[in-house]
Amino acid sequence: MTLEVQNLHVRTEEREILHGVDLVVKKGETHALMGPNGSGKSTLANTLMGNPSYEVTEGRILLNGEDLTESDPDERARAGLFMAFQYPATIPGVSVANFMRMAVNAKREEPIKVKEFGALLKENMDLLKISRDFTSRYLNEGFSGGEKKRAEILQLAMLQPEFAVLDETDSGLDIDALRIVSEGVNAMRGEDRGFLIITHYTRILSYVRPDFVHILLDGRIVREGGSELADELEAKGYEFVREAVAANGA
């Protein structure tokens, strides 16, 4: 059971951003994709989910062998993919609870029973230390940065996807919030789930230790390794990687 990216080339209207990315995430594994601003991290995350603003010009995205490259975002979600957004959209007029119920029901044949849903929501809100009045607020409307990120992880916990992409979930979180979110993620790690954690910083990786680290630079994965690679990056910075790549390439 894998999420597989093969030779992925992606462009926006202006230019090509990803120039052939290969990546395999197996269930039970946690991968970190690291890179500086503008390296194409968010492009990869959005392309995995089928954001129509990005065009795949070459390559494929496979989930458990099924080609999802041309699938609509809702089909990918129902197939088991999830993304926690860096900048989640505001949905006015729709409460957190109603949105969650809609999302949970989208994957089910029969709608979830009110009681069962309530219990599930409460359990996960407790896990993420989210206060009760949160659920009646309109999704992301007037939320602080930290509240938005928690709402994303709450959805992750509610939807229990096979593969989850976390797009810079750590940015904008203070240390307490980061710890709570990380604990939430750790609680969901397991044999039946794969994670791709996209981040600029190494901070979250000291709470959620990755099995594999990939470094994305200018739309290409330039270094791969175990969690020690994150430590090296922490010590030496992206410039070091950039110079090393330049030296090799020359």
Partner 1 sequence: MAPSFVEDRRHAALEVFESQEVPTWRRSGFWTTSLRGLDLDSLEPKRYDSLDSVLVREHLGDEEHAALIVQQGANIVHCDVTDERVIVMPLEEAVEKHADLVEEYFARRLPYDEGKFPAGTAAFWTGGVFVYVPDNVQIERPIQAVWLIEEPGTVQWAHSLVVVGEQSEVKIREYFLAPDFEGQALHSGAFELYARPGAQVHLAHYQDWGSGEVHDLSVRRVEVQRDAHVKWVPIHLGGHLTKQTLDIITAEPGSDMRHTGMYFTERDEHLDLFTTDRHEAGHTTGDTVWKGALTGESRASYEGLIHIIPKATEVDTYLQTHSMLLSPKAKGDAIPSLIVEVDNVKASHGGTVGELDPEQIFYMMTRGISRAEAVRVLVEGYFEEVVMRLDDPGLEELVRRRISEKLAGAEDQVREFIGERAEAG
Residues that bind partner 1 (CB under 8 A): 13, 49-53, 72-74, 76-78, 82-83, 85, 88-94, 99, 102-103, 106-107, 138, 155, 159
Least Å distance, CB 49 to partner 1, is 5
Q: Which is nearer to partner 1, 120 or 245 (CB)?
A: 120
Q: Both tokens of residue 29?
A: 């594994």
Which residue in the block uniquely carries the two structure tokens 């089909």?
75
Cβ 137 to partner 1, closest distance in Å? 13
User: With respect to partner 1, which residue has the nearer C-beta, 120 or 159?
Assistant: 159
Nearer to partner 1 by C-beta: 53 or 248? 53
Could you say which DSSP state residue 184 is in?
Answer: H
Closer residue to partner 1 (CB): 121 or 222: 121
CB of 80 to partner 1, least distance (A): 10
Evaluated on CA atoms 32, 38, 39, 44, the torsion sign reads positive
Q: Taking the complex as a whole, how short is the minimal distance between the CB of residue 89 and partner 1, in angstroms? A: 4
Minimum distance between the CB of residue 195 and partner 1, rounded to whole angstroms?
16
DSSP SS3 for 105:
helix
Burial of 62 (0-12, 13-18, 19+ CB in 10 A): middle
Distance CA 48, CA 6 (A): 12
> According to DSSP H, which parts of the chain are helical?
41-49, 73-79, 96-106, 114-127, 145-159, 175-188, 228-236, 238-249
Residue whose CB is less far from partner 1, 96 or 241:
96
